[in-house]
Amino acid sequence: MPLETQESAEISRFFQENGYVVAKGLFSRDELSSLEAEFDRIVSQITATGENVNARWAGPEMERLAATETTVVHTHNVQQFSGTWLRAMLNEKFLDVTEAILGPDIVLHHTKLFLKPPEKGSPFPMHQDWSYFPTDKDTMIAGIIHLSEATDEMGCLRVYPGTHRLGRLEGSMGSTDLLTERYPIEGATVLEAEPGDVVFFHYFLIHGSMPNRSSKPRKTVLVQVHAGDDEAVHNPHHPYERLVLRGWNHRMSREIANLVK
């Protein structure tokens, strides 16, 4: 069922105030079973190539967290591996909540897979996302689809609510002391989640995660989207799918549509 007007308005209000929202149970048990099987298949395929798939960060904060020997398995664009994951991007419940935040026009920028293995899963220092893929109107948000449980011990997302209103902060990539000293990860709000939950957050929100010190893997796929009247600044080093998940892409042109990546 589509979201009720009041529920949609409450999601929008909470997101605008806090910069995030935790949407419970957007994916069913049957959907999760298929998505997790495809997630595991992607991990097997990319690790078999011999490529470096460890997206662990570097810097003084990683040393402080005793996380220099940790691992987080990563790849972009799960929908290019799996039709099941492409269909997940079109999940009606997922898009209804996204629409409550962004409006009726929703454009996919990219997706990324993260596997934090048991006991040695890598943390992410506190940071903003905007500098990696800035957009003209700063409408970019992320939705983290949780395939597994994500507890604090497992290194779930931590945020500083309301910091999205600070806008673009310089030195916000998490590899310097600027942000990590001002917004220590230990003081951030812990956002635990269950399988099927999706945590949405604005790309200005200061966020990060602790290491996975548990005996279980943490499995997530992050979906990065922006409003249809917005557009990301060209970055030849980062994928930009421009796939319309709902509504219309007002910035599309014949020239852009014909671009060969």
Tens of pLDDT, residues 76-98: 999 999 999 999 999 999 999 99
pLDDT of 176 reads 63
Q: How far is CA 194 from CA 27, 154, 233, in A?
A: 11, 12, 34
Question: Which residues make Cβ contacts (< 8 Å) with residue 13, sequence separation at least 6?
Answer: none
Residue 54 pLDDT grade (very low, low, confident, very high; cuts 50, 70, 90): very high
| Residue 96: φ, ψ to 5° | -65, -45
Report DSSP state, residue 3: P
Residue 181's pLDDT is what?
85
Alpha-carbon gap, residue 122 to 210, rounded angstroms: 7
CB atoms within 10 A of CB 92: 12
Q: What's the average model confidence in pLDDT over 31-60? A: 95
Tokens (6 digits) for 230:
């917005």
- Give the residue numbers spanning the domain of 223: 5-257
Instruction: Compute the residue count for the chain.
Output: 261
Is the pLDDT at 2 greater than 80? The verdict is no
CATH number at residue 16: 2.60.120.620
Model confidence band, residue 174 (pLDDT cutoffs 50, 70, 90): low
Element at 9 (helix H, strand E):
helix 5-18
Q: Please provide the average confidence, as pLDDT, over all residues in the chain.
A: 95
What distance, in Å, lies between the first and last C-alpha atoms of the chain? 37
Q: For residues 165-181, give the mean pLDDT.
A: 81
Burial of 122 from C-beta contacts in 10 A (0-12 / 13-18 / 19+) = buried
For the chain, the domain total comes to: 1
